[in-house]
Amino acid sequence: MIQIDNLAFSYGSKEVLRNISMTLETGKIYGLLGENGVGKTTLLTLLCGLKKTQTGTITTDGHDPYKREPSLLQDQYYLPDEVAPLYDKALGWARATGKFWPNFSLDKFETILKEFEVEPDQKMNAMSSGQLKKTYIAFALAAGVRYLYLDEPTNGLDIPSKAQFRSALMKYTAEDSTIVISTHQVRDLENIIDPIIILDHQDVLLNATIERIADKLYFDYGTILHPESLYSEQLPGGFIQVYPNTTGADSKVNIEALFNTVHKHKELVKNLFSNE
């Protein structure tokens, strides 16, 4: 379990995160959403210990990730958005690098690469950007860690590759893993991320499960605008609109519409989810 308490972080005089508190539970795939510059990547690098907290604390199973203790390092993996085209064959690089993660499986790495349609004996600097990204994703999934942090993993992937990624993520991660995925591509991942975290400038606007979101907000895909609509967008043949769920009716959460609703009515949505 990851506990974040009163976290704040600045780059010089520019405050990026302020008084961030939340608990990230085991067995969850968190979707970390937010506009550019709100601190998504900063939060991921703080979680994995590449940056030191300035105010507040982060603990992972009671450990401070910045202390870089081997017992925690071997059980977490951070995949940045941009990956390096190394002068090595994928299989040789994975065989050498995987030694730092006791649960790493070279067989699993090769299996995932095969599913990704990437040749393991190909040099990484000769790969396309999509092949290279999939190679790093395959390694991250084969590392066998309990804490996995992915920054924009679907960037650079074509449509079939995005489907391959979703399938592999669900197939090759353990049920007790904690996975945090930062993304702008919500449509790529909306069927697998739950709970949803939406960051704003120095604030957390939302941290809720899909079930709780559907309990508080109703997503209407009809043809008539609702008078209490918080957000609406015209679609072919009708609208998608979001309004408070006052009747307890079931609806399918649309994460893109949710994101736009939250940003249009920040305080209203925060109050709606803070009132139990």
Give the count of domains, the chain: 2
| pLDDT values of the chain reduced to their tens digit, one per residue, 276 residues | 999 999 999 999 888 998 899 999 999 999 999 988 889 999 999 999 999 999 999 999 999 999 999 999 999 999 999 999 999 999 999 999 999 999 999 999 999 999 999 999 999 999 999 999 999 999 999 999 999 999 999 998 999 999 999 999 999 999 999 999 999 888 889 889 999 999 988 789 999 999 999 999 999 998 888 888 999 998 888 889 999 999 999 999 999 999 999 999 999 998 888 865
How far apart are alpha carbons 268 and 272 in whole angstroms? 6
How far apart are alpha carbons 43 and 34 in whole angstroms? 12
Domain boundary residue, one of 205, 228, 262? 205
Amino acid, res. 132: L
pLDDT score at 224: 87
Domain boundary residue, one of 176, 205, 234? 205
How far apart are alpha carbons 213 and 12 in whole angstroms? 36
Residue ranges making up the domain that contains 217? 209-274
Domain boundary residue, one of 146, 172, 205? 205
Residues 150 and 167 in one domain: yes
Nearest alpha carbon to residue 76 among 88, 61, 57: 61
pLDDT score at 226: 86
DSSP 76: E
Residues 238 and 201 in one domain: no
Query: What length is written for the chain?
Result: 276
Residues 50 and 115 in one domain: yes
Residues 68 and 31 in one domain: yes
Amino acid, res. 62: G
